[in-house]
Chain A
Amino acid sequence: MFDFLDKYDVLGAFWTTVQLTLLSAVGSLIWGTLLAAMRVGPVPLMRGFGTAYVNIVRNIPLTVIILFASLGLHDTLSITMGSDQVETANFRLAVLGLIVYTSAFVCEAIRAGINTVPVGQAEAARALGLNFTQVLFLVVLPQAFRAAVLPLANVLIALTKNTTVAAAIGVAEAALLMKKMVENEAQLLPISAVIAFGFCCLTLPTGLILGWVSKKVAVKR
């Protein structure tokens, strides 16, 4: 029943999914944190930018962002992301699109985390003479991240599933392989089951591990 598996590189496709997920996760964690810093900061221009970014980006379908990266950046503007190979360029463009999109959700998860930190913490830090960046990165964000582990886990799980959108621009990850397999084999159900199982293998542990981490690092007040 599952002999079609021999003909396809399922593991290879999921490895691409994992790479898409990890690279985008790291990128959106960094960019999302910076966006959150802008949104709580004292500079009106940055606050405005952060707010506008989040509200615009999270209301655009991911497919549109990824297609824009490919058709707009790559084909029209000839932005090749440092690679002449179409596959590599598409992979990088997909990561870029995923970062642009996911960072809006990371930003909001972190901002929710920041809201759990009592104002007295920042006040005590300011009273010691720490400047805004120090207050944020030494006192507020470390506590905000601990409170944001669960929301961030949800963002990561959503990101893992969202990587399938990269199939739209031909990145050879799990969903594209599934499409190919379904077209070639008359075994829709087993194929779907294999792909679904693969995603569960990625997302279930993510949820469990980060759930445990969340309890472990929670700040006691």
Chain B
Amino acid sequence: MTEVSVAKQDVAATDELVVLKSVNKHFGALHVLQDIDLTIARGEVVVVIGPSGSGKSTLCRTINRLETIDSGTISIDGKPLPHEGRALARLRADVGMVFQSFNLFAHKTVLENVMLGQIKVRKADKKQAEEKARALLDRVGVGTQADKYPAQLSGGQQQRVAIARALAMGPKVMLFDEPTSALDPEMINEVLEVMQQLAREGMTMIVVTHEMGFARSAANRVVFMADGRIVEEAAPDQFFSNPRSDRAKDFLSKILHH
């Protein structure tokens, strides 16, 4: 009896982590998100792909409410997104975000960047925070850079620090908005490898990227967006080799030729 209920809870818990229902958003007259329905299961890795201006970044940013929405609902781990205040801050701590332009705190060292949220949001003590920060920096391969300032690091190193900074909060889900598109080609792989490892370890990830290698090897699902809508959702292999919609075919033919 108990076993059954435990198993059941397990199922419920491993089920839906991020749920968007009929989400709409406008920027003035521009309808950037149109009736978005998207469910991401715990441990799932979803790659969001689509032409420029299709609303991928906006979608990402609504999930931790860096952008507000006009209608619809978004919930994380069964709880609807709070509108503001302490509850929102707590939710944001559970949702890690990695930006295209890294956005490391420029006036703090790499180590301090990874410690700040732990101390100020998670109220960890300094010693523990530092230990965790150093361990995470080692894990993403920049342990030796801990005492440098962000500007002294290469783009690839900065982005890996940014990933460590987000992981330090112990997030339930990680959002990546084109994490490699500001990087020189030779640094893209070092970041993708860290992300791949995260995916293997079971982190729930929503990744906006055009890196098809990553999508094929790490993603459970590809979501294709165009003009503010989700046009197609499919397993990576199926999506890349056999897209159903014309928009996706058109888009893929363009990025494949580059």
- The interface of chain A, by Cβ under 8 A from chain B, is 118, 120-121, 123-131, 134, 138-139, 142-143, 146, 219-221
Which B residues are CB-close (under 8 A) to A129? 89-94, 117, 121, 169
Whole-angstrom distance between the alpha carbons of A124 and B175 in the complex? Answer: 12
Closest-CB distance, B99 to chain A (whole angstroms): 6
Could you pull out 19 A-B pairs where Cβ atoms are within 8 angstroms?
A118-B101, A123-B66, A123-B99, A124-B162, A126-B66, A127-B64, A127-B92, A128-B116, A128-B117, A129-B90, A129-B92, A129-B93, A130-B89, A131-B89, A142-B107, A146-B107, A219-B107, A220-B106, A220-B151
**Is the C-beta of B97 less than 8 angstroms from some C-beta in chain A?**
yes
Q: Footprint of A on B, CB under 8 Å?
A: 64, 66, 86, 89-97, 99, 101, 103-107, 116-117, 120-121, 149, 151-152, 162, 165-166, 169
**Across-interface contacts of A219 in B (CB, < 8 A):** 106-107
Q: Which residue of B lies closest to A144 (CB)?
A: B107
- When the two chains form the complex, which single residue of A120, A134, A142 contacts B120, counting CB atoms closer than 8 Å? A134
Interface of A is mostly: helix
Q: How far is the CA of A153 from the CA of B107 in the complex (A)?
A: 21
A125: which B residues are within 8 A, CB to CB?
A: 105
Distance of A120 Cα from B182 Cα, bound (Å) = 14
Q: How far is the CB of B55 from chain A (nearest CB, A)?
A: 18
Given A127-B66, A129-B93, A139:B105 Cβ within 8 A: yes
- B101 touches which of A120, A139, A142 (Cβ 8 Å): A120
Which residues of B lie under 8 Å from residue A131 when comparing CB positions?
A: 86, 89
For B169, the chain A residues whose CB sits under 8 A away are: 128-129
CB pair A120–B107 under 8 Å, yes or no, is no
Residue of B nearest to A119 (CB): B103
Q: Do A221 and B93 touch across chains, with their CB atoms under 8 A apart?
A: no
Q: Which residue of A lies closest to B90 (CB)?
A: A129
B116 CB to closest chain A CB (Å) equals 7
- CB pair B151–A120 under 8 Å, yes or no, is no
Q: A89 → chain B, closest Cβ, in Å?
A: 42
A126 to B117 CA separation, bound complex (whole angstroms): 10
Residues of chain A within 8 A of B165, CB atoms compared: 124, 128
CA distance A128 to B104 in the complex (A): 12
